[in-house]
Chains A and B, each alone.
Chain A
Amino acid sequence: MSTPAAVPVSRRTALVLALASLGGLMMLLWPLLLRVPPDTERIDPPFLFLALLPVVIAVVLAELSEGGLDTRVLAVLGVLSAVIAVLRGISAGTGGIELVFFLLVLAGRVFGPGFGFVLGVTSLFASALMTAGVGPWLPFQMLVSAWVGMGAGLLPRRVTGRAEIVMLVVYGVLAAYLYGLLMNLSGWPFLLGIVVPGHEQTALSFDPGAPLWENLRRFGAFTLITSTGSFDTGRAITNAVAIAVLGPAVLTTLRRAARRATVRGHVDPARTAA
C-alpha cells in the first residue's frame, strides 16, 4: 500500500535540494572550512550567513511548492506543525528532554522526504513564532530539522513491522546527536571566540590557523563538555523511548490520514452523465 508522495520531489527539485543542502552545510561547517592569511589582525564570525540562510531556505520551499500543493496536504502540514510546536513547548528546557523529533521522524517516514523537509522548517518556525523564539539561531535549527525530516522520508520503504520501529528508533537517536553536534558547531565560534595572534582566547576556542584535526579536537572537547554528555543524550533517549512506545500507534494514525490526504480520484464524465 504505497501512497503517492504528499509533496512530490521531481528531479529538478532534488537538484535544488542538493545544492541548498550543500550551501547550508558549508554555512554550518564554516569553522572547518575557514582559511585566512596567517597575518590577519582579527576575524569576525560571518554574521552574513545568518541573513543568507533564510534566502536559501525560502528558495527550497518555493521550489517544493512550485507546482501547487494540495489543500489537504497543506492542512495536514499546518496541523502537524502545531502539534510539534506544542510538543516542543511542553518539553522545552526540562533537562534536554525534547519531543520535537519524535513526531517529525514519524511524519517524514509516512509522508515522504519532501513533506518531511517542509515540516521540519514550518514546525520550528511555528513554534518559534508562538513561544517568541525567533533568533539568530532559528535558520540553522530550521535547516537541520528539515534534514532530519527529509532523512526519515528517505529510509528504505520495504522495512515494516517491528523492524521498522527499530530502524526509526536508531534513526531518531542518530538524528538527535547529529542535530546537537551541528548546532554546536555553528554556535561554537560565537560562544568561545576565535583565536587570532595577539588575542588569546580559551584553550577550546576555534583557531583558524590550526590544522583541521586540532580544531576538530577542540570542538569535540567543547561539545562533549557542554552538551553531548547531557542535553543531546537526554534528547536521544527521549526520542528513542517515544518512538518505541508511541511509534506504532502514531504511525497507524498518520498512515490513515496520509491515505485520505493524498488520494487523487477523478470523475468519469460519462458515468456522471448517466
Chain B
Amino acid sequence: MSSARLPRDLHPVAWWVWAIGLAVAASSTTNPLVLLTVVAVASLVVFARRSEQPWARAFRLYVLVAVVIVVMRVLFRVLLGGGVGGGHVLLDLPEVPLPDWVLGLRLLGPVTRESVLAGLYDGLRLGAVVVCVGAANALANPKRLLRSVPAALHEVGTALVVAVTVLPQLAESARRVRAAQALRAGDERRTGRLRRQLVPVLEDALDRSLQLAAGMDTRGYGRAGTATPAERRVTGALMLTGLCGVCVGTYAVLDTSVPRLLGTPMLVLGVAAAVAGLLSAGRRVGRTRYRPDPWRWPEFAVMASGIATGAVLHWVSEHQLVVAYPDLASFPQVTLVALLGSLVGLLAAVAAPEPRPVTS
C-alpha cells in the first residue's frame, strides 16, 4: 500500500469540492430517481469514510433538515395549492375560504397527484443539495478547513480559529463565575442574576483575548502590510472591477431583456477579476504553514469524481430535458448517462484513504 492510502484525514478542500460537485448535480435536475441516487451516493461515502470526530455525527441532522424541507414543500401544496390546475384528484378535501382581509386565500381543496408530485420533486432537489452539503460537513475537518483559507483572508481565518478554540474556555469561565457568585450575596432577581453572570464572563473573555493578542504579537502575527502603494492600487482596481462585473452580471442573469453578452460572460469576468484581486491581496501576506495538509492523488481523485458528477448531470439538464425534468403525468425515466453520472461520485469512497482513528 502506498503511503498516500495510509489511514489519514483527507484534505478538507477535496471533500468540499466533491460535495459541491454533487450539489451542482442535484440542483440541475428534478428527476427523483437521479436525486435519490445522488443522496444515496453521498450517504454511502459518508458512512464509508467519516471519522469518529464529533462533527461526523452531524450528518443525521442534515438528513433531518432535508426531510423537513420535502415535507414542508408538499404540505404547502396541500394547504394552499388546492384546486389550481387540473389532474388526478387523490383526495377531495373541503375548501376553506378565508375572509377577504387575508388576501382571499383558500385553504385545502382537492389534492391532485400532479401538485403533490411537483412539490415532492422540487423539495427533493433542495433536500438533496442540503444532504450533499451535510456530507461535506461530516467528512471534512472544520479546523483543518480553516487553515486552508486563502491568504487574503488570513486574518479573518485567524479570528475564526481563535473563536473555535476559545469556546471551551467560555464554558470553564462561566463555571468559575457561577461558583464565585454563589459565595456572595447580591441581586437574586432573574435579570440581576443574568447580568451578574454575563458581564463577568464577557469581561473575562475580553481580558483573555488581549492576553492572547500579546502572545500572538510576540509570535509575529501582528504584521504590517508590505505592499507598495502601486500593488495596493492594482489589488483595489481588480476587486472593484470584479464586484462591478458581478453586479452587472447578476442583473443581466435576472433580466433577460438585457443583451446576453452582459450575462454569463460578465459574471465569469467579474469572478475572475475578484479571484485575481484576492490572490493579489494574498501575496502581501508572508507566512509559513505548520505541517501543511498533504495534497496527493486521492485528493485529486475525490475532487475529480465530484466534478465529474456535476458536469455530467449539468450536461444531462441541457441535452436530455425529459430525463432532467420529468413529466408529472408518467413515471420518471433515466438514461444510462444520467445514472452513471450520478454514481461516479461513489469513486470518492474508494479513492479516499480510511480516516485516522481517534487517539484518546
A residues lining the B interface (CB < 8 Å): 12, 15-16, 19-20, 22-23, 26-27, 30, 33-37, 42, 44, 46-49, 51-52, 55-56, 58-59, 61-63, 65-72, 74-79, 81-83, 85-86, 118, 121-123, 125-126, 129-130, 132, 134-136, 190-193, 199-205, 217, 221, 245-246, 249-250, 253-254, 256-257, 260-261
Query: Which residues of the other chain, A, contact B203 by a CB distance below 8 angstroms?
Result: 253
Question: Can you list 28 A-B contacts (CB < 8 A)?
Answer: A19-B243, A23-B246, A33-B254, A42-B325, A46-B253, A55-B275, A56-B243, A62-B150, A63-B239, A65-B154, A66-B236, A67-B224, A72-B210, A74-B216, A75-B159, A78-B159, A78-B166, A79-B208, A82-B166, A135-B134, A136-B23, A136-B130, A193-B118, A199-B118, A201-B118, A202-B80, A254-B202, A254-B206
A190 / chain B contacts, CB cutoff of 8 Å:
126
| Given A26-B247, A250-B198: A118 in contact with B275 (beta carbons within 8 A) | no
Pairwise interchain contact B102-A66, C-beta atoms closer than 8 A: no
CB neighbours (8 Å) of B212 from chain A are 75, 78-79
Q: Is B137 an interface residue (CB 8 A)?
A: yes
Q: Told that A79-B166, A79-B212 touch, could you supply 4 new A-B pairs with CB distance under 8 A?
A: A55-B246, A63-B281, A203-B81, A254-B206
Residue of B nearest to A31 (CB): B254
Flag if A132 contacts B61 (CB, 8 Å): yes
Q: A75-B212, A135-B133, A249-B199 are in contact. Are A61 and B217 (CB under 8 A)?
A: no
Chain A interface, DSSP helix/strand/loop, else mixed: helix
B235 and chain A: residue at smallest CB distance: A66
Chain A residues, CB < 8 A from B242:
59
CA–CA, A135 and B58, complex, Å? 12
Interface majority SS (helix, strand, loop, mixed), chain B:
helix
Interface residues of B (CB under 8 A from A): 20, 23-24, 27-28, 55, 58, 61-62, 65, 69, 72-73, 76-77, 79-81, 84-85, 102-103, 105-106, 115, 118-119, 122, 126, 129-130, 133-134, 136-138, 142, 146, 150, 152-156, 158-164, 166-167, 170, 191, 194-195, 198-199, 202-203, 205-206, 208-210, 212-213, 216-217, 221-225, 232, 235-236, 239-240, 242-244, 246-247, 250-251, 253-257, 267, 271, 274-275, 277-278, 281-282, 325
Nearest A residue to B154 via CB reads A65
Query: Out of B24, B105, B150, B254, which one reaches A221, CB within 8 Å?
Result: B105
A contact residues around B325 at 8 Å (CB): 42
Q: Does B210 contact A19, Cβ atoms closer than 8 Å?
A: no
Report the nearest A residue to B72, measured CB to CB.
A191
The answer on a CB contact under 8 Å between A81 and B159 is: yes
B255 contact from A34, A75, A199, Cβ within 8 A: A34
Q: Is the CB of A132 within 8 A of B55?
A: yes
Query: Which residues of the partner chain B approach A205 to less than 8 Å between Cβ atoms?
Result: 81
Residues of chain B contacted by A256 (CB below 8 angstroms): 206
CB pair A253–B206 under 8 Å, yes or no, is yes
Q: How far is the CB of B30 from chain A (nearest CB, A)?
A: 9
Q: What residue of chain A has the Cβ atom nearest to residue B236's Cβ? A: A12
